[in-house]
Amino acid sequence: ETAATRIDGKVIGGEIRERIAREVAALQADHGVTPGLAVVLVGGDEASQVYVSHKRKASLAAGMESFEHYLDEDTSADELLALIDKLNRDPAVNGILVQLPLPAQISEDAVLAAIDPDKDVDGFHEVNTGRLWNGGSPPVPCTALGCVLLLQHTLGNDLAGRHAVIVGRSNIVGKPLANLLLRENCTVTVAHSKTRDLPGLCRQADILVAAVGRPKFVQGDWIKPGATVIDVGINRLEANADGKRRLVGDVDFTAAAEVAGAITPVPGGVGPMTIACLLHNTVRATCQQKGLPLPA
Ligand code: NDP
Q: Report the separation in Å between the CA atom of 214 and the middle of ligand 1, taken as the mean of its atom positions.
A: 8
Residue 223 lies in a domain: yes
Contact call for residues 92 and 102 (beta carbons, < 8 A): no
Mean pLDDT of 241-264: 94
pLDDT for 245 beyond 90: no
ipTM, interface predicted TM-score of the complex: 0.99
The reply to whether 14 falls in a domain is no
Regarding whether 262 and 162 lie in a shared domain, the answer is yes
Given a cut of 70, whether residue 205 has pLDDT beyond it is yes
Q: How many CB atoms lie within 10 A of CB 122?
A: 24
Q: Tell whether 40 is covered by a domain.
A: yes
Active site residue 116: no
- Over residues 56-71, mean pLDDT: 97
- Cis status of the peptide bond prior to 138, with omega within 30 of 0: no
Predicted local distance difference test score (pLDDT) of residue 178: 98
- Asked whether residue 243 carries a pLDDT value surpassing 90, the answer given is no
Give the mean model confidence (pLDDT) for residues 12-21.
98
Index of the ligand 1 atom closest to the CA of residue 275: 40
As a whole number, mean pLDDT of residues 14-20 equals: 98
255 and 155 within one domain: yes
Residues 76, 162 within the same domain: no
Q: Decide: 83 and 99 in contact? Cβ < 8 Å.
A: no
Q: Is 170 annotated as a binding residue?
A: yes
Residue 232 has pLDDT above 60, yes or no: yes
Q: ∠ at Cα 96 (40, 233), nearest 5°? A: 75
Q: Are residues 160 and 256 in the same domain?
A: yes
- How many domains would you assign to the chain? 2
Nearest-CA residue for atom 40 of ligand 1: 271
Ligand 1 atom having least distance to the Cα of 195: 20
Q: Going by CA atoms, what residue is nearest to atom 22 of ligand 1?
A: 193
Q: How far is the CA of 211 from the centre of ligand 1 (A)?
A: 4
Model pLDDT for residues 144-184, shown as the tens digit of each residue: 999 999 999 999 988 999 999 999 999 999 999 999 999 99
Q: Which residue from 264, 189, 188 is spatially nearest to 233, judged by alpha carbons?
A: 264
Q: How far apart are CA 238 and CA 232, in angstroms?
A: 19
Please say if 99 is a catalytic residue.
Answer: yes
Average pLDDT, the chain: 96
Give the pocket of ligand 1 (CB within 6 Å): 143, 167-170, 172-174, 191-195, 198, 211-214, 232-235, 270-271, 274
- Which atom of ligand 1 is closest in space to residue 266's alpha carbon? 41
Domain that holds residue 79: 31-117
Give the CATH number for residue 233.
3.40.50.720
C-alpha Rg value of the chain to the nearest Å: 19
Residue 240 has pLDDT above 90, yes or no: no
Lowest model confidence (mean pLDDT) among 45-49, 87-91, 112-116: 45-49
Q: Which is nearest to 266 in space by CA: 7, 70, 30, 53?
A: 7
Q: How confident is the model at residue 81 (pLDDT cuts 50, 70, 90)?
A: very high
Residue 276: Cβ within 10 Å count: 25
88 and 199 co-located in one domain: no
For residue 289, is it within any domain?
A: no
Considering the domain architecture, whether residues 191 and 74 belong to the same structural domain is answered as no
Residue 9 in any domain: the answer is no
The reply to whether 161 falls in a domain is: yes
Q: Give the whole-angstrom CA distance, residue 159 versus residue 147.
A: 13
Whether 42 is covered by a domain: the verdict is: yes
112 with 146, same domain: the answer is no
Q: For position 104, which CATH number holds?
A: 3.40.50.10860
Look at strands 207-210 and 245-248 and give their pairing.
unpaired
Average pLDDT over residues 98-121: 97
User: Does the active-site annotation cover 152?
Assistant: no
Q: How far apart are CA 112 and CA 124, in angstroms?
A: 7
Residue 130 annotated as lining a ligand binding site = no
Who's near 14: CB < 8 A, 6+ residues apart? Answer: 272, 276
Q: Which of 118, 120, 122, 250 is catalytic?
A: 122
CA 170 to centroid of ligand 1, rounded, Å = 6
| Whole-angstrom distance, CA of residue 84 vs CA of residue 66 | 15
Q: Fill in the DSSP letter of residue 96.
A: E
Q: Return the pLDDT at 1.
A: 52
Mean pLDDT value of segment 84-89: 98
